[in-house]
Amino acid sequence: MTQHERQPGLSACFRHPERDTGIHCTRCERPICPDCMIDAAVGYQCPECVRQGAAEQAATQPRTIAGGRLRTDTRLVTLCLIGVNLAVFVGLKASEYLGGGEFGLIRDFAMLGYAWAPGSPELMGVATGEWYRLLTSAFMHQAIFHIAFNMFALWFLGPNLEAALGRGRFLALYLISALAGSTASFALAAQNQFSLGASGAVFGLFGALAVLLRKLRYDMRPVLVLLAVNLVITFLPGLNIAWQAHLGGLVAGAAIAYGMVHAPRRNRTAYQVGVCVLVLLVLVGVCVARTLQLT
């Protein structure tokens, strides 16, 4: 028997022509050899049909209003963010207790625009290239009431947004809102003033929830009242609250959420990524312009 002769009743595997087989894919009916056989609910399928079936199943899988995957646990990212904030808070207090000085970490990682380092002739701050402060400051809290208020707000707002947007989109919303809050402080606040806290990110969640409720045509009054109360508190004299961070986060969060929930179904993910990148580019532009102005 030559290499190209087939045994009676057998066919050549469509992926390995040199192999005889009597098995066919139950989906496309092409002959497949043992190396190409993949167990299916009925019979066997070829690798191409398995991949195609997985893609079709993913395309028909129920999605959130923003295109994220539906999850049974809609609090995972929220809990992780709360955990990180609490861990940093404990670290700050432990550093203070052990004699390292809580202010040392705040000096090195809190939001600061441009100022002389304490007891040193060197300049420090975002304008000197310490851009990491824009994000690290959003996970730092100094007072118990400060972190308690922010974490309560995050727990109140986070799970609903995480469920509506999906985990990845919610995390992007939170982090970019935090960056926007720090950027607004850099652009508008006194440059030698330290600021810290997750308030910018939290206000971003407020803005996002308002956009989401508007899209779903839900009653917005409870959220608007709560947002108004927080804005009033923000501007009360004597509390030393960084209102710039609150407004920056609020605007960025609303803009990102609007882009996410109003994205066209076709190429939705690419559109949403584009919105996030656009907001980030605006933030970078503001930081660069402010740096050039200061230096």
Task: Quote the pLDDT of residue 6.
Answer: 56
- In the set 137, 177, 182, 199, the catalytic residue is 199
User: pLDDT tens digits, residue range 7-26?
Assistant: 666 888 888 888 888 888 88
pLDDT at position 118 over 90: no
Active site residue 246: yes
Q: By the 8 A CB rule, do 179 and 86 touch?
A: no
Task: Quote the pLDDT of residue 101.
Answer: 58
- In the set 137, 141, 177, 246, the catalytic residue is 246
pLDDT at position 60 over 60: no
Tokens of 120: 């040193």
**253 Cβ partners below 8 Å, 6+ apart?**
173, 177, 180, 203, 204, 205, 206, 207, 208
Residue whose structure tokens are 């990845």: 168
User: pLDDT tens digits, residue range 138-165?
Assistant: 999 988 988 999 999 999 999 999 999 9
Task: Quote the pLDDT of residue 180.
Answer: 97
Tokens of 228: 């108004």
Beta-bridged to residue 220, according to DSSP, are none
Task: Quote the pLDDT of residue 75.
Answer: 93
Task: Quote the pLDDT of residue 159.
Answer: 95
Task: Quote the pLDDT of residue 20.
Answer: 85
Pick from 108, 70, 125: which is nearest to 287 by CA? Answer: 125
User: pLDDT tens digits, residue range 272-288?
Assistant: 999 999 999 999 999 99
pLDDT at position 1 over 50: no
Helix (H, G, I), strand (E, B) or coil at 215: helix
User: Would you call 287 exposed, middle or buried from its count of C-beta atoms within 10 A (0-12, 13-18, 19+)?
Assistant: buried
Cα(20)–Cα(251) distance, rounded to whole angstroms?
Answer: 65
pLDDT at position 45 over 70: yes
Report the length, in residues, of the chain.
Answer: 295
- Record the pTM: 0.79
Task: Quote the pLDDT of residue 199.
Answer: 93
Pick from 137, 134, 112: which is nearest to 125 by CA? Answer: 112
Overall average pLDDT of the 241-245 stretch = 85
Residue whose structure tokens are 């986060």: 249
Task: Quote the pLDDT of residue 2.
Answer: 45
Overall average pLDDT of the 81-90 stretch = 96
pLDDT at position 99 over 80: no
Report residue 201's pLDDT band, with 50, 70 and 90 as the boundaries.
very high
Pick from 31-45, 114-128, 165-179, 230-244: least confident? 230-244
Active site residue 199: yes
Task: Quote the pLDDT of residue 144.
Answer: 92
* Beta-strand runs (E) in the chain: 11-12, 20-21, 38-39, 44-45, 115-116, 123-124
Task: Quote the pLDDT of residue 59.
Answer: 55
User: Would you call 198 exposed, middle or buried from its count of C-beta atoms within 10 A (0-12, 13-18, 19+)?
Assistant: buried
Report residue 102's pLDDT band, with 50, 70 and 90 as the boundaries.
low
Report residue 210's pLDDT band, with 50, 70 and 90 as the boundaries.
very high
Q: What angle do CA 95, 140, 194 make, to 5 degrees?
A: 95
